[in-house]
Amino acid sequence: MAQFQFFDDTTSPDQGPKHIAKLRAEMARRGFDGFIVPRADEHQGEYVPRSAERLAWLTGFTGSAGTAVILQNKAALVVDGRYTVQAAEQVDTSVITPVQLADFTPEDWIAENLPQGGTLAYDPWLHTSDSLKRLEQAVGRAGGRLAPVDMNLVDVVWIDRPAPPQAPVRPHLHDYAGEAASAKLERIRRKMAEAKIDALVISDPHNLAWAFNLRGGDVGHTPLPLGYAILPREGHASLFFDPTKVTNEAGDAVGDLAAFAPISGFQGALDELGQTGGKIRIDSATGAVALIRRIEAAGGKVDVGADPIALMKAVKNKAEIAGSHAAHLRDGVAVARFLAWLDREAPSGKLTEIDAVEALEAFRVETGALKNISFPSISGAGPNAALPHYRVTSSSNRTIERNQIFLIDSGAQYEDGTTDITRTIIVGEPTAEMKDRFTRVLKGHIAIAQAVFPKGTTGAQIDAFARKPLWEAGLDFDHGTGHGIGSYLSVHEGPQRIAKTGHTPLEIGMMLSNEPGFYKPGAYGIRIENLILVEPRTIPGGDREMMGFETLTFTPIDLRLVEPAIMTADEIAWLNAYHAAVRDKIGPHLDADTRAWLEQATQAIS
């Protein structure tokens, strides 16, 4: 059995209506007409602890993004296109209506459905300043009012709510971090001085972990220590955690750079910070409204803006890049072993999506270095592959059938690096349409891999490179082409991304994914994903500082799905060179049988 994957739905079908009924009773008792429940914790994180899975407990929906609005006589669950099918399957639609984000934002739905003059309650720890402004506007359109609550109403009625996580906080060794925490803090303080900021409240645990070279285990898939930090421009920092979580090793590693304090004292520390009269930066992306109000109530001046740590963290140093190379080599061997196993076993027609996930995880465990998976694996056979963010459960588990596409998107957390890879495999014979669509996705993938661009270029400017081969056939995909990657941190890291909304200029040292796709609902899905690193490029005769991408991921791409007739000679040369590099890098680490499979899987095409 797998060590890190869970395949059962977290709620039974009849729980959602019962839980919503309890919430409505509590709303009525307090005189509220509605309550908003975002899929978020106090840090606005993608992965949240079980104690913060309020949306799943209330509605039954287990996706990683969504917002429920519960009124006394109706309710909505607003999700984006990734979760259309999942939302409809997991919630009781007689009680709560799934709503497409493309049709209605949560604010649009509130403005249209909140009773005239009604009161919408919200938890100020689960909303940022920007999201609260949107809520205020929506409630204003309905002629209503917003009411903050001191305790989340879901927590009031969630009797068996899990306790907050207590994973140990440990140091992240210098061999992997590549820069001492003291040097990082000095750089951060220089940025604070430039912005005339007197103190920074670090509300994003990813930024806290990076700045102080700490790691934890409070959420699934990302080694995060949940807590806060206050970093003054001058003087000692303060780190706020539950005292039982802080190990002696963490204390020794931090030393006199910061004082550890109990999380129970954090709000009092905000009061003291406000009383200094200084300019306090609150992160616009992760800073809760509750932080702002606490500081302002104490007389402080709040400056809502970007946490400077986010951009620093995105640019990897030499040690982090070396660690990523090692992690990807190790992971490439494990994935190649899995693909060889899949080619042997899948034609029997007996394998399921869960079998594949567990086998891949077992190969990663055999590396001896696996700390965790970096996200719940997407293992989709046939029509399930057409759901970009499908997550297999015991009830949805399909057999991998012949002449169907199988897509597996997975990743690993190693202490020296984080990986993320997607491979699309045909079991049996593909149709001509499958080969055409796969090859167009591959052409887009190659266009990103080969891109050369001047300093200052954003991911939004590059995104169309991946779409052009699909656009030429009247096709497209609805997700971004690439997201940032952390270094033994989150598999989804900003601010850099390759997407229509990727407006942060790319910098040398940033890591991203390269993952165009195509999805035919009810039939099949295709995605090809490698991780890439921004590196300098020299163009003879050029007068601009140029950059390009180094490919970090080395695992075969299924040649049975490639249609060479619609590829250019340059694209074929790239694919052959990539597969030659795969053979050179991972071949020596494979057993004889798997190496023979690899030779066949990476043969040159013409």
Between CA 66 and CA 498 the distance in angstroms is: 22
Between CA 525 and CA 517 the distance in angstroms is: 7
Asked if the model's pLDDT at residue 7 lies above 90, the reply is no
* Digit-coded pLDDT (tens) for 358-374: 999 999 999 999 999 99
User: Three-state DSSP class for 361?
Assistant: helix
Peptide bond into 164 cis (omega under 30): no
The answer to which of 59-68, 175-184, 480-489 has the lowest mean pLDDT is 59-68
- What average pLDDT does the segment 489-517 reach? 97
The amino acid occupying position 32 is: F
Q: How confident is the model at residue 102 (pLDDT cuts 50, 70, 90)?
A: confident
Asked if the model's pLDDT at residue 13 lies above 60, the reply is no
Asked if the model's pLDDT at residue 352 lies above 60, the reply is yes
- Bigger pLDDT: 396 vs 588: 588
Q: How confident is the model at residue 12 (pLDDT cuts 50, 70, 90)?
A: low
Q: Which residues contact 239 (CB under 8 A, 6 or more apart)?
A: 208, 212, 227, 228, 229, 254, 258, 259, 260, 261
pLDDT for 419: 98
* Digit-coded pLDDT (tens) for 512-541: 999 999 999 999 999 999 999 999 999 999
Q: How confident is the model at residue 3 (pLDDT cuts 50, 70, 90)?
A: low
pLDDT for 9: 55
According to DSSP, the residues that pair with 261 across neighbouring strands are 240
With beta carbons less than 8 A apart as the criterion, state whether 437 and 522 touch.
no
Asked if the model's pLDDT at residue 504 lies above 80, the reply is yes
Asked if the model's pLDDT at residue 602 lies above 70, the reply is yes
Note the Cα 422 to chain centre separation in Å.
15
Q: How confident is the model at residue 86 (pLDDT cuts 50, 70, 90)?
A: confident
| Closest listed residue to residue 148, CA positions, set 190, 108, 119 | 119
pLDDT for 8: 59
**pTM of model > 0.85:** yes
CA angle 181, 183, 184 (to 5 degrees): 65
Q: CA torsion angle for 73, 79, 83, 84 (degrees, to 10)?
A: 60
What percentage of the chain exceeds 90 in pLDDT? 91
Mean pLDDT of the chain: 95
pLDDT for 310: 98
With beta carbons less than 8 A apart as the criterion, state whether 386 and 380 touch.
yes
Q: How confident is the model at residue 245 (pLDDT cuts 50, 70, 90)?
A: very high
Structure tokens at 604: 């040159």
| Closest listed residue to residue 27, CA positions, set 77, 68, 63 | 68
Q: How confident is the model at residue 1 (pLDDT cuts 50, 70, 90)?
A: very low
Between CA 421 and CA 270 the distance in angstroms is: 41
* Digit-coded pLDDT (tens) for 394-427: 888 999 999 999 999 999 999 999 999 999 999 9
Spell out a b/e string for 423-438, using b for 16 or more CB atoms within 10 Å of the CB, else e: bbbbbeebeeebbbbb
| CA dihedral sign, ordered 209, 215, 216, 219 | positive
Q: Which residues contact 122 (CB under 8 A, 6 or more apart)?
A: 35, 36, 132, 135, 146, 147, 148, 149
Burial of 597: CB neighbours in 10 Å, binned 0-12, 13-18, 19+: buried
The amino acid occupying position 319 is: A
Asked if the model's pLDDT at residue 191 lies above 70, the reply is yes
Q: How confident is the model at residue 6 (pLDDT cuts 50, 70, 90)?
A: low
The amino acid occupying position 567 is: M
* Digit-coded pLDDT (tens) for 28-77: 999 999 999 999 999 999 889 999 999 999 999 988 889 999 999 999 99
- What average pLDDT does the segment 148-172 reach? 96
CA atoms within 13 A on the CB side of 114: 30
Extended beta strands in 39-141, E state: 67-71, 75-79, 97-100, 119-122
* Digit-coded pLDDT (tens) for 307-332: 999 999 999 999 999 999 999 999 99
| Closest listed residue to residue 205, CA positions, set 309, 290, 315 | 309
Q: How confident is the model at residue 441 (pLDDT cuts 50, 70, 90)?
A: very high
pLDDT for 205: 97
